Amino acid sequence: MGAQWSARGTPPCPCLATGLFVCLKGQDILLYLPARLNFFITLIADVTRPTANCPEGQIVNANRDGNTTAVVIWNSPSCSDNSQMNVLLECTNQPGTEFSLGNTTVKCNCTDVAGNMDQCSFDIFVKDVTRPTANCPNEQIVNATLETDTKAFVTWSPATCSDNSQNVQLSCTHQPEAQFGLGKTKVQCICTDISGNTDRCSFKVVVKGS
């Protein structure tokens, strides 16, 4: 086995420079560590954004029986990044959320450990498929009173519309206090909601001669 030695107990070297010297007995310098070490560290910053991937938008029908909402399921968005490290995915809505009628934009953010971020979004449109309900008054029977008993002004309680959207338009072929001739006239009304769903009703106006 070769000779072994240790620097323990070696006398200090007679040097004026600052630092740590380890010398052999012959005063040959074996090891020198300066008092100050200068070195450089190169840091490479990650400036590449991750990539956010969102599913396609969806159009779904609202639940039946007059409901104004729908529960919607979709494939979860994904994030990819050059760091191969965890990327935080945050979305304004999650699969299985209940949405109201109309359009809602779902927004998602992907953020990597360096703070780089990418966004994507998709739309969920809930369609109203419930028809409004049109309500017409009963048949109106009146006697002629104008122009030798051949015409009459007739009034009635206006038709009404009810709908789950609370936004419906009523249109009728005749309005209350319209003038009618002798005989039977059919008054038709239609209710149309904001989604284009319709319902109709009608009633008769009968003008009788004297």
* Count of helices and strands (H, E) across the chain: 0, 18
Q: Give the pLDDT confidence score for residue 85 in this predicted structure.
A: 81
Q: Kindly indicate the confidence band of residue 5, based on its pLDDT and cuts at 50, 70 and 90.
A: very low
pTM: 0.63
Contacts of 16 (CB under 8 A, 6+ apart): none
> Do 73 and 91 meet the contact criterion of CB atoms below 8 Å apart?
no
Which range is least confidently modeled, 34-38, 47-51, 154-158? 34-38
- Is-contact 14 23, C-beta < 8 A? no
Local confidence band at 66 (pLDDT 50, 70, 90 cut-offs): confident
Residues 116-127: what's their mean pLDDT? 96
pLDDT attached to residue 209 = 85
Whether 28 shows a pLDDT value over 60: the answer reads: no
What does the mean pLDDT of the chain come to? 85
* Predicted confidence (pLDDT) at residue 24 exceeds the cutoff of 80: no
- Reported as a single tens digit per residue, the pLDDT across 137-153 is 999 999 998 777 889 99
Alpha helices in 42-99 (DSSP H): none
pLDDT digits (tens, 9 = 90+) for 70-112: 999 999 999 999 887 889 999 999 999 999 999 999 999 999 9
Q: What is the mean pLDDT of residues 179-189?
A: 95
Please give the DSSP secondary-structure letter assigned to residue 26: T
The residue ranges of DSSP E strands in the chain, in sequence order, are 19-23, 29-34, 51-53, 58-61, 69-72, 78-80, 88-91, 97-100, 102-111, 117-127, 133-135, 140-143, 151-154, 160-162, 168-172, 178-181, 183-193, 198-208
